[in-house]
Amino acid sequence: GTQDNNSSCGPSRTTDHEGIFNEDWTVLVGGDGYEPQIDPTDPNVVYAQYQYGGLARYDFTTGERVFIAPQPGAGERQLKWNWNTPLLISPHNPKRLYYGAEKLYRSDDRGSSWQAMSPDLSRKVDRNKLEVMGRVWSVDAVAKNDSTSFWGSLIAISESPKQADLVYAGTDDGLIHVTENGGETWRTIKSLPGVPDMSYVEDIEASRHDVDTVYVVVDNHKRGDFKPYVLKSTNRGKSWRSIGTKLHRGPAHALVEDTVDPNLLFVGTEWGLNFTQDGGKSWHALSGKLPTIDVRDLEIQRREDDLVVGTFGRGIYILDSIAPLRVPKAGLGAAPVLFSIEDAWLYVERDRWSGKHSRGKNYWSAANPPFGAVFNYFLPEGLQTRKAARRKAERERLKKGEDNPYPSWETLRREDREKAPAIVLTVRDAAGAVIRRVTGPTAKGFHQVAWDLRYPPSDPIELSPPKDRPPWYEPPVGPLVLPGTYTAQLAQRVDGKWKTLSKPMSFVVKPLDQGSPLVTKDRGALLTFQKQTAELWRSARGAAESLKELKRRLSHVEAAIDRTPAADESVRGRARGIETQVEDLSTALVGERTRRSRNEPAPWSISQRLGSIVYGHWHSQAEATATHQQAFAIAKKDLAAALTKLKAVHGQLSSLEKELEAMGAPWTPSRIPSLPADASPTP
């Protein structure tokens, strides 16, 4: 729900590799939205609101909406709906709705009919007799009561997930009501310890873990009071204690209790998001990429363990997997930790070919969560090189006013030769075979990396890849793995020494059923074909790079012949003969440049045939087409012949280079110089 911009519904992630776009969203109903509710048994049924109690039931299947708000009975006055009207789907019956004006209404048929289950629950105070800005105003005051809420109405509703008909209701004039029998009788709480009377009861949360526990969030900022009021009761509201005294960053607005750990609570305030791991004894700010913003609503997506954060004016933020926060900081200790790993959805990311590189940089999108299996880990200390450790120790001695002795040459030599430390997550299949190694950040603190559910790419290694890639560039990938159980294990490599940091953590790779009849039923056969293609691709790309290396060597050889008196034209002729063979091999492997450079059709090369599979089939879960299988067979036969010729040419060039070395030619690449026959000094 958004102020002045309707109530809308959209995905928290898509299968599109460019993320979530405006067109992925649907407007449910107009006006000033509040808190839509989704039927937990049928996601096509959504209830959405607008100001003054407007309520619609939206059907995604048909795109139809029915307006279902309770109406006053014959002769009754208009109901006093707040601008932000509380709506709740019962955790015990998805057809049961609760909706609050000054009375609490209940429907057992998805809003087709309503019954009042309470009397007027407000203080029944006339708002026109209240002081505003220090005085009571006349009926003729400018915009008197325009675009404001009817005062004296419900704001918060919660039904205990542990017990049906145990319902809590809070009002904007500071009352909390409790019924333990579905509205037959009510008990009223008129004041809370430490909270000014008549403060706005903004949120109520009945515990998911204990039937007697309930939390309440109260906001009094309209009276210039910016304290956060968060309270807890363990006896259904008969007594309360504050758990928000150590909160900071403005008035509190929303609370949610973790679905697993009852001591893990999240609270949204005027200035951000906070969490506690000890039931409110201490609080910590959750910031990261979350801006300083008014957090108005919090939900936990129970299947994914994600925290969903609704803000006023800056959109929706999602903290993917709150599982790491279930480990108290004090319990982390001095050892690195690899947290539990959520199951990963297996699919191929969609490419619309209509993203920012086609529509311009102003085409807006929101990022998806990382694709694949996501690994979260904690390092109590960052990994350091010898040099970094020495400098840290020197800084400490400097602070104490102590000397810093000059390191020995052996110490400096070992520093200069040391490789950077690395964090490595090793992924294995159910049989224990290594599938992939994923590297991650080495600094102190929490980190997250993802594995793309693929085998390693078989493309040649690029130590210095180009910095300026075209916007449509996609990095090389390997074949998709099979669904099944995998493990990941955390380890470090420091100063060349390998050390395991965690036990293997298990997770499941599960296919996302998108209902396509084209997805293969024999994933094993698909993987076998892609692995075979990957091996041919590795050989073909490697052969092409070898040809580049041969051309470089030949260029140096021809230049060296000019500077070698003992080399005659027959030597140059042999070099030219080798060069011709290299060019012919290049034509077979990567294509004929003579015709292609003049935009004329040329015979397909080995790389073109294999590329037609890698780029034309690997981003699909469909079985290999007959065309791709034919391309594989042709490429395999041609590549075998090309590799035989390549080895022969390589041997010819190596022989020529040895002869040039014997002739005293200047050094050329790949040749190791020999000592002259008579290397003794002349007297």
CB 298 within 8 A of CB 277: no
**Is the CA virtual torsion 100, 101, 103, 109 positive or negative?**
negative
pTM over 0.75: yes
What is the sign of the dihedral through the CA atoms of 660, 661, 665 and 669?
A: positive
Distances (CA, A) of 260 to 274, 280, 286, 299, 323: 18, 16, 19, 14, 9
| pLDDT at residue 450 in the model | 97
Q: How far apart are CA 303 and CA 109, in angstroms?
A: 26
| Residue 552: its H or E element | helix 523-562
- pLDDT, position 473: 78
Amino acid (one-letter) located at 677 = A
Residue numbers in the chain where pLDDT is lower than 70: 330-331, 352-359, 361, 678-683
Q: Measure the CA–CA gap between 117 and 264, rounded to whole angstroms.
A: 33
What are the tens digits of pLDDT across the range 631-657? 999 999 999 999 999 999 999 999 999
Count Cα neighbours of 423 within 13 Å in the Cβ-side half-sphere. 27
SS3 89: strand
Whether 193 and 241 have beta carbons less than 8 Å apart is answered as yes
Residue of 198, 189, 193, 243 lying closest to 219 (CA atoms): 198
From CA 205, how far away is CA 210, in angstroms rounded? 12
Rounded-to-10 torsion of CA 24, 26, 31, 35? -90
Residue 352's pLDDT is what? 63
Per-residue pLDDT, 216: 98
**Per-residue pLDDT, 304:** 87
Cβ–Cβ < 8 Å for 51, 22: no
Question: Can you give the pLDDT at residue 465?
Answer: 83
The whole-number pLDDT of residue 174 equals 96
pLDDT of the residue at 353: 59
Residue count (the chain): 683
Distance of CA 591 to the CA centre of its chain: 41
At 433-477, the pLDDT tens digits run: 999 999 999 999 989 999 999 999 999 998 888 888 877 778 899
Confidence (pLDDT) at 355? 58
Reported as a single tens digit per residue, the pLDDT across 255-286 is 999 999 999 999 999 999 999 999 999 999 98
Q: Which of 194, 150, 148 is nearest to 172 (CA)?
A: 150
